Structure 1
């Protein structure tokens, strides 16, 4: 589950497509997409780094 957090592909696609298609609140959707990427990417990177240390111990 941790590896899915920093992926911003869906958020970027939804934000850009809604703005390009002229959706009524496309600018708001783009802003929320940007903020979700800005929030989740660093959290996911930290989570992956901490989980990697825990799960990749030598046995």
Structure 2
């Protein structure tokens, strides 16, 4: 699971930047990369939160 989260942190900002550049131009590339990074952080944080909560159960 950690490998998938790390992979998403690399792939989604690049894919968002390329998609933004392809669709709307250079200004949208930064927005696409930022949105991709935000989605990747959320996708990485949710499983980490679930594992943390599961580990705290008595």
Structure 1 or 2: larger helix share?
A: 2
Larger relative contact order, structure 1 or 2 (CA cutoff 8 Å, min sep 6): 1
TM tier, smaller: 0.3 to 0.5
TM-score by length of 1: 0.45
Rg larger in 1 or in 2?
Answer: 1
